[in-house]
Amino acid sequence: MRRPLFTTSTIAVFFLAAGSTTPRLAWAALDFGGCPAGSPIVVTTTADEWDLVPNSDCSLREAITAANLDAGGDAIELVAGATYTLDLTGGIIDMASDDLDVVTPIAVNGNGATITRSSLTPFRIFEVGALGVATGNLALNDVTITNGDAGAENGGGVLVNQTSILNVNTTSISGVSIAGNRAANGGGVYVDQGGTLDVAVLSTQGTSVDASLLAGNVATGSGGGLYVSQTGSAVIGNAQFLTVMNGSLLVDNSAGASGGGVYVAQGGLLNAQNLAIAGSWIAGNDAGGDGGGIFVDQNGTVDVQDTVISGSLVQGNDAGANGGGIPPRRSREAGSSATTPRGTVAASSRRRPARSTSTGSRFRSRPLRARSRPA
């Protein structure tokens, strides 16, 4: 049984409506622990605390709780460059331990901070929305999410539940944003049915080692970096023009089954638009089954629009079975679609050498402005 997000005493403000004798539950901005009500909420300690008694310290967990008490949405400010280690486990109340649950609009302004896990107990870092209870909307701004472990569940770094939204925003990636997480499916991020991942990156700079968005995540099943479920969607680039200089957005992720970098399920959508790629988009990922870079299931869609490419989209990925980059049979013959601008589908992805090796590129990208897909 799922633990309750909160107890009534910690979330509720009861009031009597005019002409009524029945108390009703209302969301309201409340102090919690050492975190004052209202936005922005400034986190003052890197310790993992969750105190019902008011005190002088405001932890990240307490700040998330306080923000969840305000249905209007709040911003949370982290200390620049600090590391916030989650180590509270096994609490009766869901929010009091393990992952951080987001059930209202919350923006975490990281200022280059890191949120990680330190515990023998596996748990992911963030869960957005509560299935069947509440819809969440989380914005991660300039923050690194690492060492999450969902065990046999999905979404090691972040789980985006049905109809919930995760926004990942940064002005510059000098490190990785979601890295070194682990789960059954979606080692980095799992987007459930009807959920949305929206990535707006203004520029990435550096090498393939230190310029990436999803890196080094592991799925024992499918979608090492990202898993997009049925009717879920992931949009990369969106409103802002995204520039990839020398690195890769999805790099060195792995999956035991299919989709080392990305797995797009039936009816799912991966959309990349407004990109300028001098490096590569998806590189160095590995799958035990099909699609080392991307696996697109039946009726799934990968769509690349309005993109300038002088490097490659998919490069240097490995698969134990078919399609080191993108499995051609799934993408072309089983009702799936992989729509890309002319001359920009990519390069040097391969099966593992033990099976067969393809050197060089099937498609070379050109340093030309790509055409938009017709409406």
Cα gap 372→271, rounded to integer Å:
12
pLDDT of residue 274: 74
Q: Which residue shows structure tokens 């072309």? A: 332
User: What's the pTM value of the predicted model, to 2 decimals?
Assistant: 0.81
pLDDT of residue 253: 93
Which token pair is 175? 């490190």
pLDDT of residue 209: 33
Which token pair is 210? 């230190």
Longest dimension (CA), the chain: 77
Cα gap 66→60, rounded to integer Å:
10
Domain boundaries defined on the chain: 154-369
pLDDT of residue 73: 82
CA angle 309–312–318, rounded 5-degree value: 160
pLDDT of residue 309: 66
Residue ranges of the chain whose pLDDT lies below 70:
1-30, 170-176, 201-211, 238-247, 276-279, 309-312, 322-326, 328-375
pLDDT of residue 27: 38
Q: Is-contact 370 341, C-beta < 8 A?
A: yes
Q: Which residue shows structure tokens 């923000």? A: 67
Which token pair is 279? 């490096």
Q: What is the DSSP letter of 4?
A: P
- 193's enclosing H/E stretch is none
- 242's enclosing H/E stretch is strand 242-244
Beta bridge partners of 338: 302
Strands of 105-195, DSSP E: 105-117, 126-128, 137-146, 158-160, 165-170, 176-179, 182-183, 189-191
- Tens digit of each residue's pLDDT (9 = 90 or more) over 178-232: 999 999 999 999 999 999 998 875 455 443 334 578 889 999 999 999 999 999 9
